[in-house]
A and B are shown apart, each in its own frame.
Chain A
Amino acid sequence: MKKLLTLVLALVLCMSMFTASADVEKPEKITIFIDGTVVTEPNGQAQFEAKWEELTGIDLEIIQPDHDAYYDVLQQQIASGDWPDVLILSSTYYAAYANEGVLWDMTEAWENSATKNSGRMKNESVIDGLKINGRLYGFADGIGGGCVTYVKKAWLDAVNMEAPTNWEEYAAMCDAFVNNDPDGDGVKDTYALTAAGFIGTEAPYINYLPEFYQDAYPSFYMNAEGKWVDGFSEPAMKAALERLAEGYAKGWIDPTTLTNGTKDCRNKFYDDTTGVFTYWAGTWATNLKNNLISNNRDPELVPLAPLAGAPGYFDRTPPVWAITSTCENPEGVFTWFIDTILDGGDIQFLWTYGVENVHWSRKAETVLGVEYAEGQFHMAENLETPGTAYTKNHSDPVSTLAYFADGYYTDEFIDPVTVMIQPENVASSNLFAANSRAAWLVPSTDVMSTYNGDLTTLKNELIAKVAMGEMTYDEAMAEYAKQGQAWSDMIVESLNAAK
């Protein structure tokens, strides 16, 4: 039976290869629906559109709602029947829309795509991770990204320590950061770290406090045996909560962690209230550095490898490009739109850096006080927010899934990454890439949508109370057994049944 199936599959694959290689009709016009991750209108979207049209010879229509309202507007458009050809979707919407049959199945198209077969792919597993029951409905041009822990080098020096490699060293560092006056102002006014709440609101939940949670995961995940389990009642959670309680009681964790917003956490890091900060790898490493400089603080940060025994950082499921099922010529749209995003040439360059002399330039000029020679690549000043420079267009040059084609960059036209991307960005990105694991894409079930809201609220409340010392772990678990266990069991059952 299995053999037959593989045979059939192989046959289908061969046939699809033939049909795909048979001439795909080039679309005349493509309508795309995008969020704020592509250059906005005040930032030169018209020039971007014109350049893309010039490179492909296709009329591109861009619909870009306000970034915050993207999914509201998307729902309205879908409901009113105005479906675009291509749209950007977050992982949750991607999975749900794929299940509802809104998205065109691009499995075969991807298998035969120029991108996949180009030999330039850095990390094909990201695309494989987007498959739902073996079928692919979306394409990502970069990794999802995630957080790494940054430690202020100046603080480590002030307390005579090296970057910690295990929990004991980490704990000793936190203790020193609180008690040994790492900022050197003679006042005991520092905390080791802070976060926006003891638990995050979005998957993968624990990404802002990885040293404390380590291998614990309070939500549902698939274990090594391929079964869904509720991580909250797993033994790892006990150790995690005890670490949190210890950290809070000893003053390592900022006492207002419960009510902090993300911006508060950043500001506390900038003004030397805290010395350890778990935040996004990549571009943010540069942002953190710049903000520390403008605050007259030492900007050097050490990205931390995961502590001994702790699994890596979490890599989120990336947002995807998908083609709608009502698209008249999905093969054509795939070939001419999706498959060109990482074409290794001019179009990939356009998606990565934008338009010459709008978003980047090689002219001799001075941008934001920095002088550039003729031929030297640099990003231009931001049109919408003068005083800042562009960093990229849609695709991140560091976390992209494909390299540029051999020979695209020459001695004349060198790879901007080598001159433009700051070393701290590369360092944190590389550290993240080497130490991350993919987050779970948890399916939705009816039971889940009925009970998980209450269950998550309960879990978060218990975590906060144990961390703040208002409850012991055992009391919390007793409470959990009384209120949440039944919901948890039902959800686990539904998840495993849905598989």
Chain B
Amino acid sequence: MSNAVKVQPRKKPLLPRIKNYAGFYIMALAVLAFLVIFHYLPMFGIAYSFTKYTIIKPPVWVGLKNFERLFGMPNFWSAFSNTIQLSVIKLLLTTGFSVILSLLLNEMNNIWGKKLSQTIIYLPHFMSWVVTASVFQLILSPTGQGLVNSILMNLGIIDKGIYFLGSSATWQGAYYVINIWHDTGWGTIIFMATLTGIDPGIYEAASIDGAGRWKKMWYITLPSLANTIITVLILNLAKIMNLFESVFVLQNDAVMDVSQVLQTYVYYQTFNSGGIPDYGYTTAIGLFRSMVGLFLMLVCNYASKKVRGRGIV
């Protein structure tokens, strides 16, 4: 322990520093073991991106052909931009609403009201997308059976039912609303947990200084959530191109121009090809999605470093 006498521990030579952290390396090793077995061992599969592989015969090297095919798809760019648009707006809306709900829940003093509200707002997360879609198709139906339209018609706001999920003009809006319904409540879990970590002493001090409810919310609560909000947003950016199920169950023939995302596009392409899926092509698309996710994450991480002085991990 001769190093202990050194004045500036940060400039210790590497080896003793490693020794200092020995316990942590053991912990890291446990995590890495799982990572290697379940994530890195299967990574050899990424190589299939450059092959034609129908599973039955050994993969045949085709170079960048799968990517050429992907980028050559007639409506590739429209599907690409729909994916980005739908998932970014969805992400911002659901996260934004989650934050607002968390702030309001946090202000609720009635403990039973709070518990009950929390339990209820989590429920939609447990409904599968197939069930969600079928229920909302009914609620948003243009006929008298549709709850929303019959309310609007009874109020005299409209005189003919709007086919929310059946027309390109309204589909995206309906899609966002359904996603807010489905995901917002569940999203509050992480924010609520963060809020419990705020030292009540800070609120007391602020009250003493005469800060009102809104001031405290704005200057204490929200900033303590900032870190979590940014982390959640950036983590979700990595998965942005994976958008599939929620769109797939809600789209229909008349709204393809606004609802076709990359994953549904590829699904229909394979489904209508009359052949069996080419696993190489599917993998190539996965790799492309990963690259987009990586790019978005790096950009945001960079921005985060610039603004806050450090990245997300």
Contact = CB atoms under 8 A, between A and B. Distances in A.
Do A and B have CB atoms closer than 8 angstroms in the complex?
yes
Interface of A: 75, 78-79, 92-93, 96-97, 100-102, 189, 197-199, 201, 255-256, 258-261, 263-264, 442-444, 448-457, 460-461, 463-465, 468, 470, 487
Given A255-B163, A444-B273, A460-B253, 12 more contacts: A199-B253, A261-B133, A264-B137, A444-B275, A449-B269, A449-B275, A453-B73, A455-B272, A461-B254, A464-B252, A468-B166, A487-B74
Nearest to A196: B252
Contact of B268 (A75, A453, A487): A453
Contacts of A189: 144
A78 B55 contact: yes
Nearest first, the 7 closest Cβ-Cβ pairs linking A and B are: A453-B269, A444-B275, A449-B273, A444-B274, A464-B253, A460-B253, A96-B276
Contacts of B163: 255-256, 258
B274 A264 contact: no
B253 A452 contact: no
11 contacts: A96-B54, A100-B57, A256-B141, A256-B163, A264-B134, A264-B138, A443-B274, A451-B74, A457-B256, A461-B254, A461-B257
A396 B257 CA distance: 42
A256 B167 CA distance: 12
B165 interface: yes
A259 B166 contact: yes
B56 interface: yes
Nearest to B134: A261
A463 B72 CA distance: 26
Contacts of A456: 268, 272
Contact of A96 (B72, B275, B279): B275
B166 A258 contact: yes
Contacts of A450: 69, 72-73
Interface in B154-206: 163, 165-166
B293 interface: no
A97 B134 contact: no
A356 B72 CA distance: 58
B276 A92 contact: yes
Contacts of B270: 449, 453
Contact of B252 (A92, A93, A258, A263): A258
Interface string B122-153: 00000000000110011001111000000000
Interface of B: 54-57, 69, 72-75, 133-134, 137-138, 141-144, 163, 165-166, 252-254, 256-257, 260, 265, 268-279
A102 B56 contact: yes
A367 B68 CA distance: 62
B272 A259 contact: no
Nearest to B143: A255
A394 B83 CA distance: 42
A75 B252 CA distance: 29
B274 A78 contact: no
Contacts of A255: 142-143, 163
A102 B55 CA distance: 11
A485 to B, nearest CB: 13
Given A75-B279, A449-B269, A453-B268, A256 B137 contact: yes
Mostly, the A contact residues are helix
Nearest to A484: B74
A457 B260 contact: yes
Contacts of B253: 197-199, 258, 457, 460-461, 463-464
Contacts of A463: 253
Contacts of A454: 73-75, 269
A51 to B, nearest CB: 33
Contact of B254 (A100, A201, A464): A464
Contacts of B57: 100
Contacts of A464: 252-254
Contacts of A461: 253-254, 256-257
A258 B254 contact: yes
A436 B274 CA distance: 23
B165 A259 contact: yes
B56 A101 contact: yes
B276 A457 contact: no
A177 B272 CA distance: 36
Given A92-B276, A448-B274, A457 B268 contact: yes
B137 A260 contact: yes
Contacts of A468: 166, 254
Nearest to A99: B275
Report which residue of A79, A96, A454 has the largest number of chain B beta carbons within 10 angstroms of its beta carbon.
Answer: A454
Contacts of A93: 276
Contacts of B133: 261
Nearest to A202: B271
Contacts of B275: 92, 96, 444, 448-449
Nearest to B273: A449
A11 B279 CA distance: 42
A487 B72 CA distance: 13
Contacts of A444: 273-275
A494 to B, nearest CB: 11
Contacts of A263: 134
A208 to B, nearest CB: 14
Nearest to A453: B269
Contacts of B256: 457, 460-461
A258 B268 CA distance: 17
Contacts of A457: 75, 253, 256, 260, 268
Given A100-B56, A450-B69, A461-B253, A261 B137 contact: yes
Contacts of B72: 450
Which of A102, A258, A259, A443 counts the most chain B CB atoms within 10 A?
Answer: A259
A223 to B, nearest CB: 18
A449 B56 contact: no
